[in-house]
Structure 1
Amino acid sequence: MNGLINRAIQCFLRDGWGGAAWADAARAAGAPVAGFEPLLDYDPALTGRLVAAAAARLDRAPDCLLEDLGTYLVSHPSRAGVRRLLRFAGPDFREFLQTLEDLPARVRLALPDLVLPAMQLRQEGNLYLLRLGPGVPGIAPVAVGLLRAMADDYGALAVLSAGPEAADGSAEVTIRLLDEGFAAGRDFLLGRA
Structure 2
Amino acid sequence: MRIGRHRTFISAWVAVKFASDLADHFGYRPGDELSGIVAKLGGRILSQNILDFGKFSSSGSIRIEREGNFEILLASHTGRLRDRFTIAHELGHYFLHFIYARRNGAQIERMEALRYGSGQVEWEANWFAAGFLMPANAFREAHVSLSGSITRVADRFGVSSEAASTHDVGREAVRIMFSHKLSAKLIDQLSLQRL
- By the TM > 0.5 criterion, same fold? no
Higher RCO (C-alpha under 8 Å, 6+ residues apart): 2
TM-score calculated relative to the size of structure 1: 0.30
Between structures 1 and 2, the one with greater helix share: 2
TM-score calculated relative to the size of structure 2: 0.30
